[in-house]
Structure 1
Amino acid sequence: MPSVRLEDSLVSGIGDEEPWQDDINLYEPYEVEQVLSTDYANCLAVQAYLKMCKLNFNVEMRSNAEFMSPSGQVPFIRCGSFVISELDPIVAFFTHKNVSLSESLSEKEKADMRAYMSLVNTVLTNAEQYVLWNVPEVLNSVTKPRYGSVYPWPLNTFMCWRKRCQCLSRLKVYGWASKTLAEVYEEVQKCCYNLASRLGQGPYFFGGKPTELDALVFGHVFTLMSTPLPDNRLASIVRNFPELRKLSNHIEGEYFANTLSNTSSSPEDTNQD
């Protein structure tokens, strides 16, 4: 049977007819030598979400995961005949299958959750991409070697150039390409302040149980704190918010049993309280 995109299934009703199959494969780039921080954050967010939903899944690492994905973004899952990429469509798919972390929230709380998720996706994702692809020191010492590591020369040079053009075009659409690095850091500071204020001292953003927002924030916060760069200002900003560090440490211990293998991390970065 050919693979079915989520968007098509929801329109045509195929998703209702398809039986539930607990055979989820999660596809990601290679963590050790290839994945960049933006993609690693998204991969961690999806892993956390699946674990919070108590869904069994296998992680499959592929050098060409980006090009296997139906949207060109990682991670993506294959579940039965469905192939779905990125956190929001994956959440929609499982919600359609009556698996949800936020079903107990009120409509206002759901609206708030979506607003904060949009904030994270806009600010933290854009900041990560800006630093990776628009800061020369990071671009040359981290981004190009990692992204091009799976391609032979001169293809690695071409693929890095192609990816950089795509990312800079995306930043331009969001109005981030013309920002200074100081302005980017200021945006991250404000984003973290808003997230920390909403989280407060609670274990999660909406009471005692995690939601999709917790999974998303964890992916970015853990990645920012555990990925050393020539300029580690992003990590320093996040560490200044103990509420976010506490959330990251709690989710790591609760759902990953402290087994995350980001080889670029160090104990002092990931275990601060």
Structure 2
Amino acid sequence: MASPLELNCWGGGWGLPSVHAECLVVMAYGRFSGAPLKMNIIDNSWRALRGSVPLLLSDDVVISQPAKILNFLRKQKYNADYELSAKEGADTLAYIALLEEKLHPALLHTFWVEADNYYTVTKPWFGSRIPFPLNWYLPGKMSREALNRIFVTKGGPPLCSLTEIEAQIYRDAKECLNLLSSRLGTLPFFFGNMPTTLDAFVFGFLAPLYKVQFPKVQLQDHLKQLPNLCRFCDDILSCYFRLNVTGISPAGQDPVDANLQKLIQLVNKESNLIEKMDDNLRKSPQHPPRKLTTLKLSTTGEGSNSVNRLSP
């Protein structure tokens, strides 16, 4: 019998299963691969002090950081990338590095450094879920750590002013969003009809930025001008997190829902093979062409073809 897989993560809000980007990455990958993750929501719990989240627990194994958790799940035969070529695997690593370099600092700034956002949204939300008296201390500590991470990646005083740093990180983030939008185009996912590791990372980084209601929305406004990325987030939420979107607490993945997602993946794979065979048949005059409808996970219309870590 396989070892139980438990994931410690922050809870959700604004229609998201979690507001924490790295937790969203692992949760999405678990849904894509069919991994039976049991979610342990750390809101209002002393378990929040055990270490960084997401945190995967399996027997005596404790793993943090999304990349390490995803590697562990692959070794357990929960692999969302089994159909990718070597080139597509290399592209995945390149785009994840791009997200970390270009988008991650702007996410940190949006949530933890921008004063209006921090005092009206981030601090109250996290503070209401951290036990007293730590709720008076930890949000400020998390904010200072976020600023330090930005300085490590982008530099800081006296080399450049805070205003210059802020302008640079938002320029880089908008450039990153434009590149992602151009790469996605009208596809349902970045490598076709099936979600992969790259889709999990992009969703984890974009969904909080897209859904959380901030007073300062510079980067959020730019994202909403790229309809295909917004459609991408909406599709994943509606197809893979239906219970969470309707407001039910994300206590874990329903086994029936997990089996359904596996079935959908198998049906998509078989449908793609049949469609390829059908293309070959069309070339033969003795076989009249027939049109097949491939099951897709996208639930909304096609988007426009316009061109790892959120909180400590």
After TM superposition, the structure 1 = structure 2 runs for residues 9-48 of structure 1, keeping only pairs within 5 Å, are: 20-21=2-3, 23-32=4-13, 40-48=20-28
SS at match of 1:27: strand
SS at match of 1:102: coil
2-structure distance, mates of 1:202, 1:166: 37
Decide whether the 8 Å contact of 2:126 with 2:139 is kept in 1.
yes
SS at match of 2:110: helix
Decide whether the 8 Å contact of 2:25 with 2:201 is kept in 1.
yes
State the aligned residue count: 240
TM-score by length of 1: 0.77
| Aligned: 1:141 with 2:120 | yes
Given the alignment, which residue of 226, 232, 248 partners 2:233?
Answer: 248
Given the alignment, which residue of 174, 199, 202 partners 1:189?
Answer: 174
Q: 1:187 to 1:232 in 2, by over 3 A?
A: same
Q: 1:258 to 1:187 in 2, by over 3 A?
A: farther
- The one-character-per-residue Cα deviations of 1:81-137 (angstroms, maximum 9, x if unpaired) are 222223211111122223312232222211111111121233322211112222222
1-structure distance, mates of 2:92, 2:186: 17
- The one-character-per-residue Cα deviations of 1:34-63 (angstroms, maximum 9, x if unpaired) are x9x8x6222222111101111222211113
Post-superposition shift, 1:176?
Answer: 5.8
SS at match of 1:42: helix
After TM superposition, the structure 1 = structure 2 runs for residues 1-273 of structure 1, keeping only pairs within 5 Å, are: 20-21=2-3, 23-32=4-13, 40-62=20-42, 63-69=45-51, 72=52, 74-149=53-128, 150-153=130-133, 155-175=134-154, 178=162, 179-257=164-242, 259-260=244-245
1-structure distance, mates of 2:244, 2:131: 29
Which segment is superposed worse, 44-53 or 171-180?
171-180
1-structure distance, mates of 2:81, 2:24: 19
Equivalent residue letter for 1:26: L
SS at match of 1:259: helix
Q: 1:260 to 1:53 in 2, by over 3 A?
A: same
2-structure distance, mates of 1:245, 1:169: 30
Rg larger in structure: 2
- The one-character-per-residue Cα deviations of 1:129-163 (angstroms, maximum 9, x if unpaired) are 1122222222222232233332435x433323322
Decide whether the 8 Å contact of 1:29 with 1:64 is kept in 2.
no
Decide whether the 8 Å contact of 1:148 with 1:160 is kept in 2.
yes
Post-superposition shift, 1:66?
Answer: 4.5
2-structure distance, mates of 1:190, 1:65: 38
Decide whether the 8 Å contact of 1:24 with 1:57 is kept in 2.
yes
1-structure distance, mates of 2:65, 2:236: 20
Gaps of 5+ in 2: 157-161, 249-299, 304-312
- The one-character-per-residue Cα deviations of 1:185-239 (angstroms, maximum 9, x if unpaired) are 2222101111111111111111221111101111222211110111122221111
Post-superposition shift, 1:245?
Answer: 1.5
Work out which structure has the larger RCO, using CA pairs closer than 8 Å and 6 or more positions apart in sequence: 2
1-structure distance, mates of 2:5, 2:41: 14
Equivalent residue letter for 1:104: E
Equivalent residue letter for 2:86: E
SS at match of 2:242: coil
Equivalent residue letter for 1:60: N
Decide whether the 8 Å contact of 1:29 with 1:65 is kept in 2.
no
2-structure distance, mates of 1:107, 1:89: 20
1-structure distance, mates of 2:49, 2:101: 23
1-structure distance, mates of 2:120, 2:240: 32
Q: 1:31 to 1:65 in 2, by over 3 A?
A: farther
The CA RMSD over aligned residues, in Å, is 2.7
1-structure distance, mates of 2:247, 2:98: 25
1-structure distance, mates of 2:141, 2:71: 31
Structure 1 stretches of 4+ with a deviation exceeding 6 A read none
